[in-house]
Chain A
Amino acid sequence: MLRYSLRRLILFIITLWLLSLFVFALNYWFPGDPLTNMTGIRDQSSYAYQQAVDARGFDSGILQQYVGFIDHLLAGQWGNSLASQTDVFAQLQPLFGATLELGLLAMALALLLGLPLGIYAALQQRGPLDRVIMGLSLSTYSIPVFWLAQLFILLFAVKLGWSPISGQINPLYNIELQSGSILWDIWRSDMPYRPAAFIDALAHLWLPVLVLSLMPMTMLIRIMRNAMLDVLQQNYIKAARARGLADSRILFRHIIPNALQPVVRQLGLQFSVLMTNIIITEVIFNWPGLGSWLVKSIYERDYPVMQAGILVLASLILLVNVLVELLHAWRYPQVRKEQHAEH
């Protein structure tokens, strides 16, 4: 396990390093002055610009510049936004909180609904409900998320009035911005209308969470169902049945734990799908997260912000994938044995 973990970690670090190289190179590929793209300082005759030249090694070779870039990156000095001239790193934190809140809730919803539905469909294989679940999941899977979001807004927000159209909370609730995650911030705030604000935030939250979770949910249903069907045909299940174990015991002790293995392996991939969709969803729902920030920065040609957005989103996806792989290997020893003949 140790050897496997080390291998994954080293691979992770190498990927991060390649990512940093890519982001560093972007500064030179974008139009305009590389240092301006990096720091957001427009005025090349200013004192601040001169300081940046010294600090980031722009008076020496490209290698020094890369070292300076990494130094500043690790120190949290990510430059200023070209559009608003505010510190990118400081802007980043609340946006990250908001994105994480949306992403984690959506992933949780996908797991909590997707897995049971997949199990149920497998147990009812070729039954009418199985067909309904599989049909629905296939059609939901084939609707692009931006279209689905608009349809849901039209239906739930405009026609039925069950949810507001966009935003995190009614802006008249003055919630102090701390983590960016709205539920957490309400919890921590000391305003007098906390319960009402909490309900209002939930009303804003459920629709984007639902929209986001549908895609991974449909995938999880299908993976779970197939894995279940696989396990159901294994000899040890037949043996368990022959021994006269109760159906529920077979299901919970033998089938589900084994069927979860391919599902866990897929979680990282599903999270990546979710993070790509979150960018579009945040724009549509005006969610103050990393995704909408990244898209706005593209419209504004705001290079420092673009880099930061790419860097953070990509690192997050990488990190989650590595964690999922580690979890997978730790939980299912046969996997690492298969891969590395470990004993």
Chain B
Amino acid sequence: MFLKPVCLLTAVTSVLILSACNDNNQLPAPLSEGLVYCSEGNPESFNPQLGTSGTTVDATSAQLYDRLIDYDAEQQQFIPALATQWQAFDQGTRYRFKLRQQVAFHQTAWFQPSRPFNADDVLFSFNRWLNEQHPYHDVGGGRYPFFRSSGLMRLIKRVERVDDHTVDFWLNQADSSFLANLATDFNVILAAEYGAQLLAQGTPSDIDRLPIGTGPFVFDEFRKDFVIRYRNHPDYWRSQPHITQLVYVITPNANKRMLKLLTGECDVIPYPLIDELAQLDTQAEIEVASAVNPSLSFWAFNTKRPPFDNPLVRQALAHAINRPAIIQNIYGGKARLASGMLPETSWAYSAEPQAYPYDPAKAIELLQQAGYPNGFSMNIWAMPVQRAYNPNAQRMSELMQADLARIGVQADIISYEWNTFRQRLARGEHDSVLIGWVADNADPDNFFRPILSCAATRSGNNRTQWCDPEFDQLLVEAITETEPQQRKQLYQQIENYVMQQAPLVPIANSLRFQAHRADIQGVELPPYGGLSFRKARRLTDAPL
């Protein structure tokens, strides 16, 4: 009977001693060859085609899959990926892609590929969202918000197999953003053979749950709210990843992420707390990386719900918010007060004075004109997670709540778990929401069409539920225009139109931050799209 406490005590003390004197050099192989990324939330699925959430993209696109072409932001050009060459024909309405040979798909317990990647896989991946008759179209909801809201769904007429390693894309009209959209994280290539196998087994929904791709990492397991486990893909067509195991530990609490980075439980964390960045940077074992991730945080009104269907009300609320104070308090001054939809880094940006300076008196006056002299009550939905564009939506909504109270508008703050939050937003259950947008590609169209167009409303991605034919017409004019100077002017018009209608209030353009342990190198944070661990490695003192 007395033996047990003694045993336990010795066990506890020996653990303490061991963990206290554990040296980095003696790490067992799984620890020194693996990497832990503490992500901010659960992915919605393992197929980026199905959503637009940055969390899903970070967890899947660059790790599990490849695209036909990639975008090199430094060189500002498209580079070959699964397609080795491409060419436009017929005045830009047909693109021919030559496909790479000998690209192996993942081998897992649930799928053994019998052939390398070929044209059938491209057809399968594109037809899934393009063709409503495709057996996989409705699997996983059949929404494909990115393809609908970016216009790709209406742009691509069909995809045609020319031979095993050549495909043709037929477009309905020439479009200057086609290649840019093709290089985004959403255009991943799935395995046609796997699709056929699952269909035969009668479990088609597994395709987004137990993913197969050609990317540098192979999916191993996912425990919701805890971990995602990947291992390296031994037959990857580019050079092998350096790490053998990649683990995402799901840590929604930003404070805890920071602490876990300090104790070394996380090697890399996204979205460190902005207030602590300066302090983090002085720590020798921590490095902070930032990327110009063209992004916009905004406050969107549900224009289908009164009183937000009245532009005067929206303008009044825009005047009521002290946005410079938000930039100071929420972003710690590390962001730019947005003057319109486009960030400063876009080539189509032109400097304009603030359309809605902070002016409570003006706001009250506008509310009176709109017929709400005594104000009203509304809700603000605040995201439960940190995003590059908004590090703390909860706190931001509290500041806004105080601002709104000053003009007699009583605001309640509402929040749900992130995936639930997005689902309910898509159903339009909100009055207004604090959310934002991170560019998928460098084209200015990407800052308008996916956020505010009628197509985006139909796909459930337009948080304002705003559908204005005049605005859509302007967008089409801008996208078919090829002369950059003309396009820039058109986007200027669009900006003015949006600001005047005010379906949303732009708040800030910010940087995307990421912090990692000093012995980790090569975690890529591209300006467009999700992060990539392909070249990540852990530096060790002793050469392996």
Contacts and interface: CB of A to CB of B under 8 A. Distances in A.
The answer to whether A binds B is yes
Interface of A: 83-86, 108-109, 112-113, 116, 153, 157-158, 161-167, 170-174, 177, 193, 196, 199, 202-203, 206, 286, 288, 292-293, 296, 299-301
B419 A109 contact: no
B36 A172 contact: yes
Contacts of B15: 199, 202-203, 206
16 contacts: A108-B4, A112-B4, A157-B263, A158-B259, A161-B263, A162-B19, A167-B265, A170-B31, A170-B36, A170-B265, A171-B227, A171-B249, A174-B220, A288-B226, A301-B416, A301-B420
Q: When A and B form their complex, which 9 residue pairs have the shortest distance between CB atoms, in order from nearest?
A: A172-B34, A171-B247, A299-B417, A300-B417, A112-B5, A202-B15, A203-B19, A193-B28, A196-B28
B18 interface: yes
B262 interface: yes
Contacts of A173: 30-31
A174 B245 contact: yes
Given A163-B19, A170-B31, A300 B5 contact: no
Contacts of B256: 165-166, 286
Nearest to B226: A288
A292 to B, nearest CB: 7
A153 B255 CA distance: 12
Contacts of B238: none
Given A83-B224, A172-B34, A199-B18, 17 more contacts: A83-B417, A84-B224, A112-B8, A113-B5, A158-B263, A161-B19, A162-B16, A165-B260, A166-B251, A166-B265, A167-B249, A167-B265, A170-B36, A171-B229, A193-B28, A296-B225, A299-B417
B361 interface: no
Counting chain B CB atoms within 10 Å of each CB, the highest count among A84, A153, A288, A292 belongs to: A84
**Secondary structure of the A contact surface, majority rule:** loop
Interface in B163-202: none
A208 B36 CA distance: 22
Contact of A164 (B4, B8, B263, B419): B263
A202 B11 contact: yes
* Chain B interface extent, by class: 35 or more
A171 B36 contact: yes
B226 A286 contact: yes
B223 interface: yes
A299 B416 contact: yes
Interface in B1-52: 4-5, 8, 11-12, 15-16, 18-20, 28-31, 34, 36
B420 A83 contact: yes
Given A199-B19, A288-B223, A300 B416 contact: yes
A177 B28 CA distance: 21
Interface in B467-511: none
Contacts of B5: 112-113, 116
Contacts of B19: 161-163, 199, 203
A174 B223 contact: no
B210 to A, nearest CB: 12
Given A83-B419, A112-B5, A300-B417, A174 B263 contact: no
A164 B348 CA distance: 49
B454 to A, nearest CB: 26
A130 B34 CA distance: 50
Interface string B384-419: 100000000000000000000000000000001101
A171 B262 CA distance: 17
Contacts of A158: 259, 262-263
Interface in B279-303: none
Contacts of A288: 223, 225-226
A296 B417 CA distance: 8
Contacts of B224: 83-84, 86
Contacts of B245: 172, 174
Contacts of A203: 15, 18-19
A175 B54 CA distance: 29
A259 B184 CA distance: 72
Given A299-B417, A300-B419, A301-B420, A165 B259 contact: yes
B254 to A, nearest CB: 13
A177 B223 contact: yes
Contacts of B260: 164-166
Contact of A161 (B20, B28, B205, B227): B20
Given A165-B256, A288-B223, A300-B417, A174 B229 contact: yes
Contacts of A109: 8
A39 B127 CA distance: 32
Nearest to A85: B205
B30 A174 contact: yes
A178 B460 CA distance: 40
Nearest to A161: B263
Contacts of A199: 15, 18-19
Contacts of A167: 226, 249, 265
A165 B263 contact: yes
A85 B18 CA distance: 42
Given A165-B256, A165-B260, A193 B4 contact: no
B28 A286 contact: no
Interface in B421-479: none
A255 to B, nearest CB: 16
A161 B265 CA distance: 11
A157 B259 CA distance: 9
